Amino acid sequence: MTKALLIGDDAPNFTATTTEGEIDFHSFIDGHWAVLFSHPKNYTPVCTTELGYTSKLKGEFEKRGVKVIGLSVDKIEDHDGWAKDIEDTQGAALNFPLIADDGSVAKLYGMIHPNASDTMTVRSVFVVGPDKKVKLKVEYPASTGRNFDEILRVIDSLQLTANHKVATPVNWKDGEDVIIVPAVSNEEAAKQFPDGWNEVRPYLRIVPQPGR
Ligand code: BEZ
C-alpha cells in the first residue's frame, strides 16, 4: 500500500493536460498558495454546482494569492463540453484549469478510494503553500458537495499563522479574535503585540486579529 499524503508532506509534482494547456504543478504554484481539488466525474449534478460556485469565488481566491486547479479522471474534450453546461446552468464560466487526468495524478494524491469506486475520485481538497507543502487535506464522499466558503476560511487561518504566528479558535470567522501560538514566548509576543493580550490562561493568549 502506498503511503497516504499527509499535512506537512511535500506536494508531489506532476505534469498534466488541462483546459488551459499543459501544466507543471510546481511551476503553476509559482510562489502562490494553491487549491488542488478533485471531483468524481464530468456531467454529474453535484460537481456542476461545485465548479460553478468555485468559479464565482475567483476574486476571493485572487485576493488571498491563491491559484485554483480542479481534476477529474475524464478526457479533455469532455471537459470542454461540460464547461459550457457549467456556464449555462450556474451563472459562472469555468475560470480555472481543470485537469483531464488519466488516473495518475489521482493516484499520486490518493484521490481514488477503491472501496468507494475503482475509477472515480472522491471529493478531495488539498491546500498547498508557497513552500509546496500540503497545508490542508479534506475528503468528502461523492454525494456530498463541499463548502468552498470553509476552504477560504481555512486559507485565511493558514495565512494568519504563516504571517503573524497566530492560531484561530473554534468556529473562528475573519475579523474575530485569534490566539497567539504556544511556540511564541511572552517575550516575543510582547514585541509582536505591544498593546498586550488577554491572558485567559498562560497557554491561552487572545489578541485582536492582526493585519486588519
Ligand atoms: C455528482 O457530482 O452529482 C455525483 C457524482 C458521483 C456520485 C454521486 C453524485
What b/e sequence results for 51-78 when a residue is b if at least 16 CB atoms lie within 10 Å of its CB, and e otherwise? bbbbbebeebbeeeebbbbbbbbbeeee
pTM: predicted TM-score of the whole model, two decimal places = 0.96
CB of 46 closer than 6 angstroms to any ligand 1 atom: yes
Q: What percent of the chain has pLDDT over 70?
A: 99
Cα 143 to ligand 1 centroid, rounded to whole Å:
5
The amino acid present at 157, given as its one-letter code, is S
Cα 56 to ligand 1 centroid, rounded to whole Å:
21
SS3 (DSSP) at 36: strand
**Domain 164-207, CATH number (from 1.10.3720.10, 2.40.30.330, 3.90.120.10, 3.30.1020.10):** 3.30.1020.10
Q: Would you say domain 15-146 falls under CATH 3.40.30.10?
A: yes
SS3 (DSSP) at 89: helix
How do residues 102-136 score in pLDDT, each as one tens digit?
999 999 999 999 999 999 999 999 999 999 999 99
Angle in degrees, 0-180, between the axes of helices 45-56 and 148-164, rounded to the nearest 10: 40
pLDDT for 3 equals 84
CB of 194 closer than 6 angstroms to any ligand 1 atom: no
CATH 3.40.30.10 domain locations along the chain: 15-146
Name the residue with the closest Cα to ligand 1, atom 1.
Answer: 46
How do residues 163-206 score in pLDDT, each as one tens digit?
999 999 999 999 999 999 999 999 999 999 999 999 999 999 99
CATH 3.30.1020.10 domain locations along the chain: 164-207
**What is the C-alpha separation between 46 and 41, in angstroms, rounded?**
10
